[in-house]
Amino acid sequence: MKVTVELLGFLADLAKGKSRFKMEIEAERPTVLTAVKVLGERFGLELERNLVENLYGEVRKAVLILLNGVEVSVLSGLETPIGEGDKITFIPISSGG
């Protein structure tokens, strides 16, 4: 199954400058977490660690993850199922004053 991945800001830098690409995912019941793990395998653990908080698979507070334009936190979080042709967008959040 192929999905489109979009990495914004410094997350694209961690993916060797790739900001938008198609990614193959081979899993029986793929989820957003499956996609994060595949990104980690493809580009390294630093990218994966910037997306998930800990071994329990919680989204980092400094990152928004959208599935087809909807924030996954209002769906099933990282356990949200994904399908052929879906678009997963990872957006780093900055705060300041």
Q: What is the CATH number of the domain that holds 12?
A: 3.10.20.30
The amino acid at residue 22 is: K
Q: What is the pLDDT at residue 96?
A: 60
More confident residue, 56 or 7: 7
Q: Is residue 6 part of a domain?
A: yes
How many independent structural domains does the chain possess? 1
What H or E segment, with its residue span, contains residue 13?
helix 10-14
SS3 at position 90: strand
Q: What is the pLDDT at residue 60?
A: 82
Q: What is the pLDDT at residue 55?
A: 60
Whether 7 shows a pLDDT value over 80: the answer reads yes
**How many angstroms separate the CA atoms of 97 and 53, rounded?**
24
- DSSP letters spanning 37-74: HHHHHHH-HHHHHTTB-STT-PBPTTEEEEETTEEGGG
Which domain covers residue 28, as residue numbers? 2-92
Q: Is residue 97 part of a domain?
A: no
Question: How confident is the model over 37-96, as pLDDT tens digits?
Answer: 999 999 999 999 899 887 666 788 889 999 999 999 999 999 999 999 999 999 999 766
Q: What is the pLDDT at residue 97?
A: 58
- Rounded to two decimals, the pTM is 0.92
**How many angstroms separate the CA atoms of 85 and 24, rounded?**
10
59's tokens: 């989204």
